[in-house]
Structure 1
Amino acid sequence: MSEEKERQAANEWKVGPVAFISLLVAILFFSGLFMKIDGMKWLSAFDFTTLGGTFGTMKEPAKNTFLGAGGVSAKAGFLFALSLVPTVMLALGCLEIFSHYGAIRAAHKLLTPFLKPLLGIPGLTGLALITDLQSTDAGAALSKELYDQKQITKKELVIMGAWQYSGAGLINNYFAIGSALFAALTAPVIIPLVLMFVLKFVGALFVRFVLNVVYKEDFRNEQ
């Protein structure tokens, strides 16, 4: 019986060419690389953010809110949260397709040698981390699904949350909001982006250290 279970486990994580292709497509889809390419605007049709859509311009902010002028409290919060549902549903639906073709297995095989020693998390979390660079909501939803399916432990989830929380939606926010300050930068535009990306790992490493030293008893019974 034990040999049979080991054989089934090995087959479950077996990776073929289709899985690697699926992973590559998933990375390109969630990374934002297709969002704005000069002379090839049609590629944005294969980008997650483009498919998720954007809000229109508010010419009269005092009136053009969810509830009109004076909308406050729980109603406004609920409607804002409701507006996030299509993006999250799109992300989860796409993940199911990529997972069917083996993207998670390929990510696990390729990224585990890097993520496991560095952050203590398996490579299958790679897609959720990549997605977070473009969409905070979709990244969080994918992380929750991994935890609900018991593919990651609570400790790994906390470390992932630390990585995602620091500079969440990094690429999207940097180029959409930070672009207003590009003219004032004295360094190349790419340098602050790379620095923030590196500091995401620094923050996650710090949280991993705290969990292993200060709160290690809380996770002693986790598998």
Structure 2
Amino acid sequence: MQGKETQSTQISWVSYAAFLFAIVFFSGVFASAKDWTQVLDFSVLNGAYGKITGEAGKIFTFRGTGGGGARDGFMFSLELMPPVIFALGVIAVVDGLGGLRVAQKLMTPLLKPLLGIPGVCGLALIANLQSTDAGAGMIKELVERGEITDNERTIFATYQISASATVTNYFSSGVALFGFITVPILLPLVMMFFFKILGANMVRFYIKAMQKRETVNTIGVGK
């Protein structure tokens, strides 16, 4: 009882403000802003690498072209490090202010029936809208801290890997198809979310079926 009271007293208006900020920050709401509000967006602050102009006006990143093997893999890993480190740093601040406890409290009633995962995964779920790497890094952090189980990690990983960085990729790469599609622009986006949830629940029910089978086998051996 004392533990519950201590946890509840740690959730203040600052905790709710931190949680709200994290939702806005990782959601991409201000990704296309042209004024100072763009600093409230994760992808904007994450930035981009400079470009190198080569022969015939070709533009490359620091990785260049034609790479392969371990060396190119190392250069690729350098691209992944900034968003992951940056995202985990932001989450550490939000957690210190009680934002993750607010996520646990508010989002568990939604995520438990929808995906079978606790509400503490909420911010990672939102981060997955913009960045594959940031969402994955957050889940790793939650597992190491014991906030979610291995089975919950498997379910959420299934959700994340399908159409990862959904909003960012759809409104950047997908924009090339907007002039050709014959359905409302938001419909493919809705379908992607539908199949992300469907895939996660398929894995969720598979895990439950395996657990039930193991329980039956254990009882059978015991008899």
1:13 Cα offset (Å) = 4.9
Query: What is the CA–CA distance in structure 1 between the aligned matches of 2:153 and 2:213, rounded to whole Å?
Result: 16
* CA deviations over 1:102-145 (Å, ceiling 9, x no partner): 11011111110111122221101100111011000000000000
1:151 Cα offset (Å) = 0.7
Q: Which residue of 2 aligns with 1:47?
A: 41
Pair 1:183–1:99, CA change in 2 (3 A): same
Residue from 146, 149, 160 that aligns with 2:145: 149
Contact kept in structure 1, 2:121 and 2:139, CA below 8 Å: yes
Q: Which residue of 2 aligns with 1:170?
A: 166
Q: Equivalent residue of 2:171, what SS?
A: helix
Q: Equivalent residue of 1:184, what SS?
A: coil
Residue from 66, 72, 80 that aligns with 1:84: 80
Q: Which residue of 1 aligns with 2:220?
A: none
1:57 Cα offset (Å) = 5.1
Scaled by the length of structure 1, the TM-score of the pair is 0.87
1:152 Cα offset (Å) = 0.6
Q: Which residue of 2 aligns with 1:3?
A: none
Q: Does 2:7 correspond to 1:12?
A: yes
Task: Say which is worse superposed, 157-166 or 6-15, in terms of deviation.
Answer: 6-15
* CA deviations over 1:24-51 (Å, ceiling 9, x no partner): 10000000001113xx432111110011
Pair 1:26–1:182, CA change in 2 (3 A): same
Q: Which residue of 2 aligns with 1:21?
A: 17
Structure 2: 5+ residue runs without aligned partners? 216-223
Q: Does 2:121 correspond to 1:133?
A: no
Q: Which residue of 1 aligns with 2:182?
A: 186
Q: Which residue of 1 aligns with 2:203?
A: 207
1:95 Cα offset (Å) = 0.4
Pair 1:10–1:53, CA change in 2 (3 A): same
Residue from 54, 67, 71 that aligns with 1:75: 71
Q: Equivalent residue of 2:179, what SS?
A: helix
Q: Which residue of 1 aligns with 2:98?
A: 102
Query: What is the CA–CA distance in structure 1 between the aligned matches of 2:63 and 2:165, rounded to whole Å?
Result: 27
Q: Percent identity between the aligned chains? A: 42
Contact kept in structure 2, 1:66 and 1:76, CA below 8 Å: no
Q: Which residue of 1 aligns with 2:154?
A: 158
- Give aligned pairs, total: 213
Query: What is the CA–CA distance in structure 2 between the aligned matches of 1:162 and 1:13, rounded to whole Å?
Result: 32
Q: Which residue of 1 aligns with 2:116?
A: 120
Query: What is the CA–CA distance in structure 2 between the aligned matches of 1:34 and 1:63, rounded to whole Å?
Result: 28
